[in-house]
Structure 1
Amino acid sequence: MSNNNNKTSYPSLLGRHALVSGGASGIGEALVRALATQGCKVSFFDIDQVAGDALSKELQGLGYQAHFELVDLTQIDLLKRTIAERIDTWGAVRILVNNAANDHRHGLQELTSEQFDQCMAVNVKHHFFAAQAVAPSMAAAGGGSIINMSSNSWMLGLAGYPGYVTAKAGISGLTKGLARELGVDKIRVNTVLPGWVMTEKQKRLWLTPEAEAELMTQQALKEKIEPEDVADLVLFLGADDSRMISGQSLVVDGGRL
Structure 2
Amino acid sequence: MKKIVITGAGNGIGKATAKACVEAGYYVIAADKDKAGLRDLQSKIAVHQLETHVADFSRPSVYKEFISRLYGVYNHRALHGLINNAGIYHGKSVNEYSDREIDEIWKVNLKSLVYLSRDFAQQELNAPHTRNIINITSVAGEVGSMDALYGATKAGVIGLTKANAWNFAPRIRVNAVSPALIRNTSIHDRIPEHRRKEYERQEVLKDPIEPEGVADVIMFLLSDQSRHLTGKVIAVDNGAYPR
2:210 to 213, 226, 230: 226
1:136 to 118, 122, 142: 122
Q: Evaluate the alpha carbon distance shift between residue 236 and residue 180 of structure 1 in structure 2; reply closer, same or farther with a 3 A threshold.
A: same
The reply to whether residue 150 of structure 1 matches residue 137 of structure 2 is yes
Cα distance in 1 for partners of 2:67, 2:43 equals: 20
Specify every segment of 5 or more residues in structure 1 that has no aligned partner in the other structure, as ranges.
1-14
- Between the two proteins, the alignment pairs up a number of residues equal to 238
Is contact 1:43–1:86 with CA below 8 Å preserved after alignment? no
Deviations 1:7-56 (A, max 9, x none): xxxxxxxx211000000101110011111111111101100112202212
Is contact 1:196–1:253 with CA below 8 Å preserved after alignment? yes
Q: What residue number does 2:153 align with?
A: 167
Q: What residue number does 1:68 align with?
A: 52
One-letter code of the match for 1:252?
V
Q: What residue number does 2:177 align with?
A: 192
**What is the root-mean-square deviation in Å for CA atoms of aligned residues?**
2.1
Cα distance in 1 for partners of 2:216, 2:24 equals: 11
Is contact 2:8–2:14 with CA below 8 Å preserved after alignment? yes
More off after superposition, 219-228 vs 129-138: 129-138
**TM alignment of 1:197-208, pairs within 5 A:** 197-202=182-187, 204-206=189-191
Cα distance in 2 for partners of 1:195, 1:205 equals: 14
Partner SS state of residue 140, structure 1: coil
Cα distance in 1 for partners of 2:38, 2:222 equals: 22
One-letter code of the match for 1:149?
I
One-letter code of the match for 1:24?
G
Partner SS state of residue 250, structure 1: strand
Specify every segment of 5 or more residues in structure 2 that has no aligned partner in the other structure, as ranges.
none
Cα distance in 2 for partners of 1:132, 1:200 equals: 28
One-letter code of the match for 2:111?
K
One-letter code of the match for 1:177?
A
Is contact 2:64–2:112 with CA below 8 Å preserved after alignment? no
Partner SS state of residue 91, structure 2: coil
Is contact 1:147–1:189 with CA below 8 Å preserved after alignment? yes
More off after superposition, 199-208 vs 171-180: 199-208
How big is the shift at 1:155? 2.1
How big is the shift at 1:220? 1.1
How big is the shift at 1:108? 2.2
Structure 1 length-normalised TM: 0.85
Deviations 1:90-109 (A, max 9, x none): 32221100000011122122
Structure 2 length-normalised TM: 0.90
Q: Evaluate the alpha carbon distance shift between residue 80 and residue 40 of structure 1 in structure 2; reply closer, same or farther with a 3 A threshold.
A: farther
More off after superposition, 82-91 vs 33-42: 82-91
More off after superposition, 117-126 vs 164-173: 117-126
How big is the shift at 1:187? 0.5
Is contact 1:76–1:129 with CA below 8 Å preserved after alignment? no
How big is the shift at 1:135? 1.0
The reply to whether residue 241 of structure 1 matches residue 225 of structure 2 is yes
Give the percent of matched residue pairs that are identical in Structure 1 and Structure 2. Answer: 29
One-letter code of the match for 1:198?
R
Q: What residue number does 1:38 align with?
A: 24
More off after superposition, 88-97 vs 106-115: 106-115
1:29 to 15, 20, 31: 15
Is contact 2:4–2:29 with CA below 8 Å preserved after alignment? yes
Q: What residue number does 1:92 align with?
A: 78
Partner SS state of residue 169, structure 1: helix
